[in-house]
Structure 1
């Protein structure tokens, strides 16, 4: 029974995440505009049950003929690939969308056929095969089939019931990025467990011995550079949608904005310099923290932090683009409309005012854990000071001056870097917006 429940829970979670932003979910939304939700869900359930039964049978056969260690290793690589697939995004082709809109007759039959064909070779089918190959028992296979079916139906039901409302609060791209991050985390976890099964219990220890702190320093440097580069790309993409909107704050030498920028630059130099000096054997890492497990946790924090930055920037870009049209319409009566900051409180900003700064702190902490040095600790302290100045002395006064009571009310119910631990008293109808400065 335990094997069934574990397999059910894992497959439900994985397939539910895989469906977020998938074309099957897009098809569910399209069918729901033509038919009632219940017949569409019945059709999805029938198609999913058949497709995933075939997937589990294939995976069960693979699991019986291939060593479990190699199955786990292939599964890890597969889930990393699913993450990249999800990050790339999915969409209906013109032919698929046209078929969904033209579907006539029985909604159950139409949805069943359409979803069965759409799922053949899709990443949810491949994910189900991968999971079934890892749980080689009959109870585990049944659990994978039941969990994957329920997970897909739940995700598509979510798309039908609250899809439109969710789309108003959270950009589609943000959902895809979040799902991709979960795939990457799950893939990294599988990889961490698979390597000892294939190459021996001390495999990771041998890797660390060969790489040493030099290798971890290079890994921190490369991973940090990729994460920061991606974060800056998302930030630049969002800021291009900002147009003329700027906070009315002083940026002259000695001003809070100047100090925040200076400290950010100095922290970046020290933060990247620390792992570089460790890699070149100029600095020795802090011995208490120089452990493989700490480095793995650090890599996870680094990726998580900059994923939060990316999601926050994607939401800002979406809000800025939407507000540009409204500003254009209002410009005739208010020439400053196109330059005024926008206040909104939806998505990731609903409970936190500065999620991008929170993600930056988490990512920098992860980089420090990968190559722990006193120089890195100093960089972390500078980041914390810079973030506090940016939030308390730049963003909040600037937005408060521009938006007055509206921003004061928003600030009173949200946390600066973390959600407030108290009941939400947000008035009805004010949950669709996000803070943008």
Structure 2
């Protein structure tokens, strides 16, 4: 259960102000169909984070527990620093134009899946799966975290984004990643 709760918490916080959250807002404004957008985000995240968790679990087979602890500690600390760097969606509304022909669900699924590749939440999923050695609980946790952070963007949109203290949310998420990394370092040293 710890794997699920930690995965949900870290990804929810890390996702605040992330490019996929901005993408969700753009998709909601463009398509104005919240249900297919929400389901597409759900399925894209399950697929993307499921694969990331499998990679994290696979890494456990290639590295000794001692080496992996140091890699994980460094990854979590780096994630904490990365969270402090705000994301931007590079091409904005123009990016959506070429995908619109596929319909709301498929366009959202493809764009969300692609936006998550190499994203901090995907990398966090790899690290969490390696740390907790649970593909299922980490995938479920990180997926729930993504939904907690992104579904409100569909329904509340810009009004919510204007009133959330994103800087403080990002700082808190960064602190959690760094603390989690330092806990791993302390455990490795003891």
User: Which one of 114, 127, 132 corresponds to residue 129 of structure 2?
Assistant: 132
CA RMSD in angstroms comes to: 1.9
Is the contact made by 2:14 and 2:170 (CA closer than 8 Å) also made in structure 1? Answer: no
Is the contact made by 2:53 and 2:139 (CA closer than 8 Å) also made in structure 1? Answer: yes
Structure 2 spans left out of the alignment, 5+ residues: none
Render the CA deviation track for 1:161-188: whole Å, top value 9, x for unaligned.
3443333323433332232222222222
Is the contact made by 1:79 and 1:183 (CA closer than 8 Å) also made in structure 2? Answer: yes
What SS does the aligned partner of 1:33 have?
A: helix
Give distance in 2, aligned partners of 1:126 and 1:11. Answer: 12
Is the contact made by 1:27 and 1:100 (CA closer than 8 Å) also made in structure 2? Answer: no
TM-score, structure 1 as length reference: 0.41
1:99 aligns with 2:114: no
What SS does the aligned partner of 2:84 have?
A: helix
User: Which one of 136, 143, 151 corresponds to residue 157 of structure 1?
Assistant: 151
Higher RCO by CA contacts (8 Å cutoff, separation 6 or greater): 2
**What is aligned with 1:117?**
114
What SS does the aligned partner of 1:88 have?
A: coil
**What is aligned with 1:269?**
none
Is the contact made by 1:75 and 1:187 (CA closer than 8 Å) also made in structure 2? Answer: yes
The verdict on how the C-alpha distance between 1:173 and 1:100 changes in structure 2, with shifts beyond 3 A counting, is farther
What SS does the aligned partner of 1:63 have?
A: helix
**Structure 1 segment 295-314 matched on structure 2, within 5 A:** none
What SS does the aligned partner of 1:38 have?
A: helix
Give distance in 1, aligned partners of 2:93 and 2:76. Answer: 28
User: Which one of 35, 40, 50 corresponds to residue 53 of structure 1?
Assistant: 50
Give distance in 2, aligned partners of 1:134 and 1:84. Answer: 19
Shift of 1:102: 5.6
1:24 aligns with 2:20: yes
Give distance in 1, aligned partners of 2:69 and 2:93. Answer: 36
Give distance in 1, aligned partners of 2:69 and 2:97. Answer: 41
Give distance in 2, aligned partners of 1:89 and 1:153. Answer: 20
TM-score, structure 2 as length reference: 0.89
**Structure 1 segment 8-407 matched on structure 2, within 5 A:** 8-35=4-31, 36-94=33-91, 96-100=92-96, 103-105=99-101, 106-136=103-133, 140-194=134-188, 196=189, 201=190
Is the contact made by 1:31 and 1:101 (CA closer than 8 Å) also made in structure 2? Answer: no
Structure 1 spans left out of the alignment, 5+ residues: 202-437
Give distance in 1, aligned partners of 2:172 and 2:106. Answer: 33
Shift of 1:80: 1.3
Shift of 1:31: 0.4
Shift of 1:103: 4.0
**Greater gyration radius:** 1
**What is aligned with 1:206?**
none
The verdict on how the C-alpha distance between 1:100 and 1:176 changes in structure 2, with shifts beyond 3 A counting, is farther
The verdict on how the C-alpha distance between 1:183 and 1:158 changes in structure 2, with shifts beyond 3 A counting, is farther
The verdict on how the C-alpha distance between 1:190 and 1:41 changes in structure 2, with shifts beyond 3 A counting, is same
Render the CA deviation track for 1:238-282: whole Å, top value 9, x for unaligned.
xxxxxxxxxxxxxxxxxxxxxxxxxxxxxxxxxxxxxxxxxxxxx
Is the contact made by 1:63 and 1:135 (CA closer than 8 Å) also made in structure 2? Answer: no
